[in-house]
Amino acid sequence: MSAFPDKDKVARSLAEAHRLDFPEIRRIVRVIGTDESSVHEPVKLLEVNPETSPSGIVPITFGPLPPKYPYPSILIEVTEEEYQRICSGELVLPDGWKRGETLYQAAA
């Protein structure tokens, strides 16, 4: 049995915390890397925030915050336009990363 909780549950919890702390966020998408099973692979979230400045893909790394967040995390904050460019493939995530499940989407 692993000493680390399920990474999907941690990602959902982190997304929920960000949604509550930053109500301007319109969407949070999990980003999946090539080795998600590793405890050393961070939880990665792509956050669509209309109040951020367009700056492309700029991953910001945070250390773990045990016990609730035992994994390091990476946040990528983008505008809605940048998100659409990611979806169309015009703006690409770092090598080996891809969009995963949408963890939060604001009501229209």
pLDDT 10s digits, 38-77: 988 999 999 999 999 999 999 999 999 988 899 999 999 9
Distances (CA, A) of 19 to 33, 39, 58, 96: 22, 24, 19, 26
The answer as to CATH 3.40.50 being correct for domain 7-105 is: no
- Tokens in use for 2? 């692993």
pLDDT value at residue 67 = 87
Query: Taking the CA of residue 95 as centre, how many other CA atoms within 13 Å lie in the half-sphere pointing to its CB?
Result: 0
Query: Residue 2 pLDDT more than 60?
Result: no
Predicted structure pTM score: 0.93
Enter the DSSP assignment of 42. Answer: P
17-45 tens-digit pLDDT? 999 999 999 999 999 999 998 988 999 99
The H or E element containing residue 45 is: strand 43-48
Query: Residue 4 pLDDT more than 90?
Result: no
**Cβ density class 50-87: b for 16+ within 10 Å, e for less:** eebeeeebeeeeeebeeeebebbbbbbbbbeebbebbe
